[in-house]
Amino acid sequence: MLSTPAQKRPEPDKSGYGRAQKGPFDASEASTESGYVDLGSILVRPTDGLQLRLELEEATQRVVAVTMDLSGSSLQLQAFAAPRSEGLWGEIRAQIAQSVESQGGTVEETEGSFGPELVARLPADASGEGRSYRAARFMGVDGPRWFLRGVIGGRAAESREGSAELEDLFRHVVVDRGESPLPPRELLPLRIPVEAAPHENGRGHTAQAQQQPQAPERGPEITHLG
């Protein structure tokens, strides 16, 4: 009797909203052969007017986040290793809330397009004593052995209608976890995409306006919340 290859057991849905059908997607679930910008563990789908910024850790100069700027707002992305059996978002939400409150800010938990999320308001003054606040909206999605965090800033952070474009970008993100064993919460590696590699004249590749975003720029050192 001929034996058949063992079928790969599907990963349980830890997102709570049907992530595998609605996104963000695992690399095994989506075709990224064309139309995506490959940033290593994160692949993004370009749209008109989109600009990418790669954020560096000051001490090591490694890429630690990618930020997408669109229509006056931003979406910062980071992907992390996660356990196979359980998600991280519940625990991380609590830590973000605690961190924001310790900085003199406020946090509201709401139900968004990707499940529970946080709307944080942080003092614009570093001393925490000013009356001016800046808003940030934290979204988190648990995938198969990975966790993806998105942080919306700018006008879209406090406007559901204004965040539709950024939510659509987040929905179409593809995470390439890789097969290497990694401890939970380990940042998945990011890299400068081939499209942005320097040319002989020293200038980076300029993407086509209608199909690709502008070549990524190096941004400031990232500030972690939570």
The confidence score (pLDDT) of residue 17 equals: 74
**Structure tokens belonging to residue 20:** 């595998």
In the chain, what are the domains?
40-183 (2.60.120)
DSSP-derived secondary structure for 153-188: EEGGGG-TTTTHHHHHHHHT-EE---SS---TTPBP
Checking if the pLDDT of 132 tops 90, the result is no
Q: Which of the four pLDDT bands, split at 50, 70 and 90, describes residue 165?
A: very high
pTM of the predicted structure, to 2 decimals:
0.81
For the segment 66-83, the average pLDDT, to the nearest whole number, is 97
